[in-house]
Amino acid sequence: MALTNIRNEEEGQPPKKFKMPFIITDNKQFAYVNVREFNNWRRINACQKPIDISMIILWITWFIAVIGFYSFVSFFFPTPNQIAVCIFAGILTCIQLATTLYIMFVETQDPVVQQQNKPRNLDYVKEMGVPVIGPDNFCHICQVTVERKTRHCKPCNKCVAGFDHHCVYLNTCIGSKNYSEFILLIYLSAFLVLFFAACSLYYFIQFFTNRNQFKDTVETYFSTGKYAPIICDIILIIYCLFCLYAYFTVLELIIFHFKLWLYKMKTQEYIRKREDDPEYFENLKLKTLFKQRIIEIKDRQKTKRSRKRAKK
């Protein structure tokens, strides 16, 4: 389906500086902006305008989970364990944050495009569902022949090596340069929010099983009010449910990418295959695929060991 684009600049004339909105609610802004101005722009990092509203929601969720744990839940731990738990969770949180920032700020553009540094085709009109890179692997915007697994991300408007998908929650592309870190991030995130949820649930139950100790903790750190223990217990269960919701959201993503690993596919390949042949995945047995993948991993390990012995 061809898109209608507004052209205020004459072809051949240098485009004006593209004025991006600060926040967007969808990643198809290329569909309703000036063609030449947008083609002259590309995303460098995730904090560059426009910011997807999904990323703002993600960071709000992260701050609520982290601040809620350290400023509230952690105080319910007995003093000997409190420091150890905070250090443990703190290390994981720092690793998670560092991984997130790496994914957001690493340059995912295909090195071939960077090396050749050719002028961009400002007059190319994008169409929904039509790849910018043709069957011959030539990108019609970057004007470069790229690798087979490279895709031109329309929201970021650049060729991404080993393109998997555009992540609206991180406001950047996931490709060969940050896919491993992305997988690490979702596993870390799932573990952390589940840990936070488990801790808050444990102390929520303590209100009923060891009320005196619960009351002492509340009076020591929060308030001596009559209803303070009840209010704190309500906050604990709300926080627990919040973290559990975040956990199951991330778990769904983990399961999806685990299936992709079994299918030996990228996200975009999976989507296209699903559209072209809906029955293809119904005939695949995940258990059989998993066994095959394990055998392949063992075979690769044997091959590596054999090569090392041969070198010696």
d(CA 115, CA 227) in angstroms, rounded, equals 66
Tokens of 3: 């898109």
d(CA 27, CA 43) in angstroms, rounded, equals 12
Q: What is the mean pLDDT of the chain?
A: 87
Q: Which among 213, 218, 190 has a CA at the least distance from the CA of 73?
A: 218
The structure's pTM equals 0.86
Identify the pLDDT of residue 277: 83
Identify the pLDDT of residue 254: 96
Q: How confident is the model at residue 30 (pLDDT cuts 50, 70, 90)?
A: low
Give the SS3 label for residue 265. coil
pLDDT tens-digit map of 206-236: 989 988 888 998 998 898 888 899 999 999 9
pLDDT tens-digit map of 115-146: 998 999 988 888 777 889 999 999 999 999 99
Q: Using H for helix, E for strand and C for coil, what is the string for the chain?
A: CECCCCCCCCCCCCCCCCCCCCEECCCCHHHCCCHHHHHCCCCCCCCCCCEEHHHHHHHHHHHHHHHHHHHCHHHHCCHHHHHHHHHHHHHHHHHHHHHHHHHHHCCCECHHHHHHCCCCCCCCCCECCECCECCCCEECCCCEECCCCCEEECCCCEEECCCCEEECCCCEEECCCCHHHHHHHHHHHHHHHHHHHHHHHHHHHHHHHCHHHHHHHHHHHCCCCCCHHHHHHHHHHHHHHHHHHHHHHHHHHHHHHHHHHHHCCCHHHHHHHHHHCCCCHHHCCHHHHHHHHHHHHHHHHHHHHHHHHHHC
Q: How confident is the model at residue 3 (pLDDT cuts 50, 70, 90)?
A: very low
Q: How confident is the model at residue 312 (pLDDT cuts 50, 70, 90)?
A: low
Per cent of the chain over pLDDT 70 is 92
Average pLDDT value for residue range 79-94: 90
Identify the pLDDT of residue 202: 93
Distant-in-sequence, close-in-space partners of 95: CB < 8 Å, separation ≥ 6: 188
Contact 158, 109 (CB under 8 A): yes
Identify the pLDDT of residue 182: 97
Q: Is the pLDDT assigned to residue 4 strictly greater than 50? A: no
pLDDT tens-digit map of 7-27: 444 445 556 666 777 888 877
pLDDT tens-digit map of 144-163: 999 989 999 988 999 999 99
Q: How confident is the model at residue 281 (pLDDT cuts 50, 70, 90)?
A: confident
Give the SS3 label for residue 250. helix
**Which is more confident, 284 or 65?**
65
